[in-house]
Amino acid sequence: MKSHLLSASMVLLLFGTPASADRLSIYSDAALTQYTIDDSVPRVVTLYVAGYLFESSGVRFSVRPGPGFTGVWLSDTSAFYLYGSSPTDIAIGFGRCVTSRSVLILTMSYQMFGTSSPCSELHAAPPNGFPYAFSTGYCGFDETPIGQLDKLYANCANPPIPPVPTEPTTWGKVKSLYRD
């Protein structure tokens, strides 16, 4: 029993503990597993913005192309309330408090031309100041910077793996997780 606890403690120390920062990611599939896209032929594609949010009732951000990304934004849709557009500045209100879970925030349509440079990117960015999650009503009121913004890569054979957020800890804090 103690050896299992020690093993679990070592894993936590090696890989860290999850941070409580909000996170936005852009995916090329509805299952929210692929953060790459092949831009080799002209076509219209659907891209997905998902967030891992902690007690938020909305978010505000923009989605911008990096150098070499030649796709052109066509439209945004969401199950939530939208104000603005993703290429410039979009605010999305959830109408309820979302807590500690992944949620599909936005679906975007892009016209691809088959001309994006290798490993070009599309990324969530600050609209004006910083991207943030906000809370109102029964969530309380607060504006919190979004801690991690993951990218979508086009034409990239070996894209960088998005980092897993961690926060510092001590051996004593890890041991306290397993006290009887």
Domain boundaries, the chain: 16-158
Which residues have C-beta within 8 Å of that of residue 140, sequence separation ≥ 6? 55
Rama region for 84: left / alpha / beta (φ>0; ψ in -120 to 50; rest): left
Degrees, nearest 5: CA angle 104-108-112: 140
Which is more confident, 102 or 91? 91
pLDDT digits 0-9 by tens, 14-73: 333 333 457 889 999 999 999 999 999 999 999 999 988 777 888 888 899 999 999 999
pLDDT at residue 162, rounded to an integer: 61
Pick the CATH number of 16-158 from 3.40.190.10, 2.60.40.680, 3.40.630.10, 2.40.50.140: 2.60.40.680
Q: Residue 118: what are its φ and ψ, rounded to 5°?
A: -60, 135
pLDDT digits 0-9 by tens, 104-128: 999 999 999 999 999 999 988 876 6
